[in-house]
Amino acid sequence: FMGLNAVRFLSLVSLILVFSSTIFVMVTNIKAVNAFEANKSNSTMLEDCDYIEGSTVPNQPAGVFWAVVASLLIIFQTVVLFLSEVSWPIAFFDRFFPVLGSQFGLGALGIFQCLISTQILSHHVDDFTLVSAFFLFAIGCLNMFLGLLFREKAKAKRSIRSWRAEAKGILPTHADNRPVFVNATPSYVSSVFTESKAPQHETSEYGTWRSTEKAGYGFGRQGEKAAGLRGFILQKPEESLPRYVTPP
């Protein structure tokens, strides 16, 4: 639990660093493009460059557009991965992005992180962006390893809610997939049979043949005590042999 959450914390930090560094690169690219357009009429040597000086923007038709789109996609991906790491909203990911939901492991998350970092590292960037991308790539490789190790149980093992539930010992740690059996008999049917079979006690003297409250004492000690309280003497029947038995 602690190890997986430590990796989770480092993953969140790396995503925040990549998010901020991508915004910084996008601002730097826009400034470099503006400077390039301002000096374009004064110098013809800049037209032969593959990239605009001081940026990651290619010197080609619509190069600025695709550079900005790439930066926006990286920002969008980091936001989505950040939300999946904090498990909010988990129902949204379970329905629309199942690979980032609670039923999948950390392998897909690590693959996405490596793709983002390699996209950034494939360009000439500043030191801050370079370190952030390297950090994200290392965390992505670690998440892929943990995904292979724990598989789909990784997110359940690092879940804070399940850890609290196990600490309290109230909620079960796993879902019971067995079918639930319910009583198919309607309630009114059972009530009718219950009422029909219920004994009807009538007001009568104790010890009569209609009284069932104290029946079943027999000829033992309890029967003698109950008879004595009523003023009767309980005698045992005389021992006799059956008619078909020959007397000794």
Taking alpha carbons only, the member of 54, 38, 36, 60 closest to residue 46 is: 36
Over 90: is that where the pLDDT of 9 sits? yes
Contact 125, 56 (CB under 8 A): yes
- Region of residue 61 (phi > 0: left; psi between -120 and 50: alpha; otherwise: beta): beta
Percent of the chain having pLDDT more than 70?
A: 65
pLDDT of residue 238: 67
Average pLDDT score over the chain: 79
Over 70: is that where the pLDDT of 247 sits? no
User: For residue range 225-242, what is the model confidence (pLDDT) as tens digits?
Assistant: 777 777 676 566 666 666
Contact 134, 111 (CB under 8 A): no
- C-alpha 155/C-alpha 101 separation (Å) is 9
pLDDT of residue 68: 94
pLDDT of residue 221: 73
pLDDT of residue 204: 44
Over residues 95-104, the mean pLDDT reads: 90
Over residues 119-145, the mean pLDDT reads: 95
pTM: 0.63
pLDDT of residue 136: 97
| Greater pLDDT, 81 or 218 | 81
In sequence order, the β-bridge partners of residue 60 are: none
Local confidence band at 159 (pLDDT 50, 70, 90 cut-offs): confident
* Weakest-pLDDT range from 47-61, 66-80, 97-111, 178-192: 178-192
Over 70: is that where the pLDDT of 248 sits? no
State the amino acid at position 133 in one-letter form.
A
- C-alpha 231/C-alpha 108 separation (Å) is 89
Over 50: is that where the pLDDT of 209 sits? no
Contact 15, 136 (CB under 8 A): yes
Percent of the chain having pLDDT more than 90?
A: 43
Alpha helices of the chain — where are they, by DSSP H?
2-39, 63-85, 90-96, 107-121, 127-150, 154-157, 160-168, 187-197, 221-229
